[in-house]
Structure formats: C-alpha cells, structure tokens
Structure 1
C-alpha cells in the first residue's frame, strides 16, 4: 500500500509541475500520460482498499473524484 501511496504522491507532484509550466514542450502529451498513470494508480489503490468496482463510475474525472473520496474515507493520503 505504501508503494502505491508514494507513487500517487509523485504523480500528483508531477501533474502540478506540468500544469504550472506554460512553456513545456508537448505539455498536453505529458498531462495525458500523467493522468493515465494517476488513473491506474487510483485503480490499484481502490483494489488494495477493497473499494468495489461497481462503486466507481466507468471513466473520467468523476471516477477520479469518487475514487479519491473512497480512499480518503479509508485513511489514504497522498
């Protein structure tokens, strides 16, 4: 679990850095790759925290918000 939390922290930090960088080459590509990585880590975290897949929306930003809420209610921090 700790490895997934640490990875979530790293990816979140990278997302903030890329979002704040107005001159980054291929910024959209970097953001997309980081969001995909974040989504994968959230899915793994939910599996570890025993969040039932049917409790989450199928895809997109709403899935992220719901997954983050479920994980937060189970004591996860990143």
Structure 2
C-alpha cells in the first residue's frame, strides 16, 4: 500500500486586506515624517512614539500576512521594534513587492 500525501497550496492573502495594510502603512509613515519635520507639534514625543508603535505593530502584521518570519507575540502598546528589526521587515516586504 502506498500513501499519497496531499499538500495544501500556500494560502494567498486577500488582496484587499493586503492593499488596506499597505495604505495604512503609508499613512503612518507619512504621519511619522510630518511629526519629525514639524517642531511645533504639541506633545511631539508622545505623538511620535504612538505613531511609531502603531507602524511597528502594523509592519509585523504585514509580515505575518506575507508569510515572513517575525516574532510570534504582537507588540504591546508601550513597545516598539528595534530599528534593525524594523528595517529587516521593511526590506523583506519590499522584496516581495509590497510598497507603501
């Protein structure tokens, strides 16, 4: 008796979910640039930390969606990714055709 194992095709993410993530990443990246460029932003450090945390969490979600290795635990509200990890995730996503 021979056994035949069927492999499931790789799950392809919903293109609308992917697009929504890319749009949101672009919006958060623009928000971070706006905060950095405008020294008159009220509570500037607080806003930058909040936007950076949201960007990092969304970047991690994008990596999961694209099937890239990332840390299993989601970021908490007071956590941000290290700059080298953020760059790695951005480069991995970009190499797979993501843009924002």
TM-score, normalised to structure 1's length? 0.90
Question: What do you get for the CA RMSD once the two structures are aligned?
Answer: 1.0
Secondary structure of 1:47's aligned partner = helix
Bigger Cα displacement from structure 2, 1-10 vs 45-54: 45-54
Deviations 1:48-75 (Å, cap 9, x if unpaired)? 1100126xxxx41111100001001100
The structure with the larger Rg is: 2
- Number of aligned residues: 74
How far apart, CA to CA, are the structure 2 residues paired with 1:24 and 1:3? 27
Distance, in Å, in 1 between the alignment partners of 2:69 and 2:34 is 32
Aligned residue runs from structure 1 range 1-78, under 5 A: 1-53=18-70, 59-78=81-100
Q: Which runs of 5+ in 2 are unaligned?
A: 1-17, 72-80
Q: Hey, which of these two has a bigger chunk of helix by percent?
A: 1
Q: Which runs of 5+ in 1 are unaligned?
A: none
RCO higher in 1 or 2 (8 Å CA, sep ≥ 6)? Answer: 1
Cα offsets for 1:26-59 (capped at 9, x unmatched): 10000000000000110010001100126xxxx4
State how far apart, in whole Å, the 2-side matches of 1:24 and 1:51 are: 35
TM-score normalised to structure 2 length: 0.71
